[in-house]
Copies of this chain bind each other. A is one copy, B any other.
Amino acid sequence: MSNVIPKPSVPAPDIVRCAYMELVVTDLAASREFYVDLLGLHVTEEDENAIYLRSFEEFIHHNLVLRKGPVAAVAAFSYRVRTPEDVDAAEAYYRELGCRTERRRDGFVKGIGDSVRVEDPLGFPYEFFYEVEHVERLHMRYDLYSAGELVRLDHFNQVTPDVPRGRKYLEDLGFRVSEDIKDSEGTTYAAWMHRKQTVHDTALTGGNGPRMHHVAFSTHEKHNIIQICDKMGALRISDRIERGPGRHGVSNAFYLYILDPDGHRVEIYTQDYYTGDPDNPTITWDVHDNQRRDWWGNPVVPSWYTEASLVLDLDGNPQPVIERTDASELEVTIGADGFSYTRPGDENGAYHGMASKGFKLGTQV
């Protein structure tokens, strides 16, 4: 490929983990209802224009910023780096890549100090920071613990047209691939990549991009996720449950996907596995394996493949969306020509031209 992203000569910043996402929302009150009243994230601070939220076990200022704006989008995927100097390293790294960067010694948002934001080679607004305000870690504040408590930010998920191109770029940046989805012809449909010792800090999902597929928070146990569904039923917003709950094939986590008032997708996630060893085995899934995305073979709703959030450039304008030209996971699995199997080689476990479990793709796609 002529469009390979070269590896800079300067060292990559030492990224610790995904730390927070800045989301632009169009109705701050409606978003507050979703993230605070429904999901129970804890308000570190808030004003007319922004709400800073953190999860139960977090000790840095926030894991999510909701900022009021005219167009629903993602303003930043923010990573914490190991040292103050790693912010310099990040700036130099992206400059050598020819990316636009912006450095703010006082940070772009409250609670965060010296930061650099970049328009990365895939078109995503990435941020790197070390300095951060410490706040009360609520991890033993069981007086505040809701039945569906979100205890950590777990990961981001990004949509990009060319997954191998993005993967190579993120591997250069220091991420390691824990799992991926491929087919026998060499197409990669998705890849999961981590810095901290879980399955991922971010994942690349093949599709029209750059777009944000979802942001994921984790719970302690599976029943916490079920409670979120039950509560959404009680509030008569079950139509905002998009997919799940289920058990992922990839990552082995128990999951749920829900949609915020702007259509930003949030995953609730629990119990993936330790990946911290240097030779942690990468797991490759066949795109036709019907258990890859749901271990129980439950169908992936088409919107999950097609819908995603816009991302902003450093001026706050939405990045243009580029179409994926590689094969689409939706089409090769549940579309008109799609094919999936429960057991390789067993015709009784094969599904053709429809979603699994007897559901056919609707006309709305």
Binding site for B on A (CB under 8 A): 16-17, 57, 59-60, 80, 82-83, 134, 137, 139-147, 149, 151-152, 196-197, 220-223, 226-227, 229-239, 241-243, 245, 247, 249, 252, 254, 271, 273-274, 276-281, 290-291, 295-299, 301-303, 342-343, 348-349, 354-365
Asked whether B358 lies within 8 Å of A365 as measured between CB atoms, the reply is yes
Within the complex, which residue of B145, B197, B236, B364 is in contact with A196, where a contact is CB–CB below 8 Å?
B197
Within the complex, which residue of B142, B238, B252 is in contact with A342, where a contact is CB–CB below 8 Å?
B238
A295 proximity list for chain B (CB < 8 A): 140, 229-230, 233, 238
Asked whether A301 lies within 8 Å of B357 as measured between CB atoms, the reply is yes
A362 proximity list for chain B (CB < 8 A): 354, 358-360
Asked whether A360 lies within 8 Å of B358 as measured between CB atoms, the reply is no
Asked whether B60 lies within 8 Å of A277 as measured between CB atoms, the reply is yes
A231 proximity list for chain B (CB < 8 A): 142-143, 145
Asked whether B342 lies within 8 Å of A273 as measured between CB atoms, the reply is no
A276 proximity list for chain B (CB < 8 A): 16-17, 196-197
Sample of 19 A–B contacts (CB below 8 Å)? A17-B276, A59-B281, A80-B277, A134-B279, A137-B281, A139-B252, A139-B273, A140-B234, A141-B234, A142-B231, A143-B231, A152-B273, A232-B296, A238-B290, A239-B342, A241-B297, A242-B357, A299-B359, A301-B359
Listed from nearest, the 5 A-B pairs whose CB atoms lie closest are: A238-B297, A360-B362, A142-B230, A233-B295, A359-B359
Give complex CA distance A252, B139 in Å: 8
Give complex CA distance A356, B359 in Å: 11
Within the complex, which residue of B278, B297, B365 is in contact with A82, where a contact is CB–CB below 8 Å?
B278
Asked whether B281 lies within 8 Å of A196 as measured between CB atoms, the reply is no
Give complex CA distance A296, B342 in Å: 25
A274 proximity list for chain B (CB < 8 A): 57, 152, 196
A357 proximity list for chain B (CB < 8 A): 239, 241-243, 301
Give complex CA distance A271, B302 in Å: 32
Give complex CA distance A295, B235 in Å: 11
For A130, give the chain B residue with the smallest CB separation. Answer: B278
A235 proximity list for chain B (CB < 8 A): 143
Give complex CA distance A20, B196 in Å: 22
Find the residue from A144, A149, A279 having the highest chain B CB count within 10 A: A279
Asked whether B247 lies within 8 Å of A296 as measured between CB atoms, the reply is no
Within the complex, which residue of B17, B237, B254 is in contact with A226, where a contact is CB–CB below 8 Å?
B254
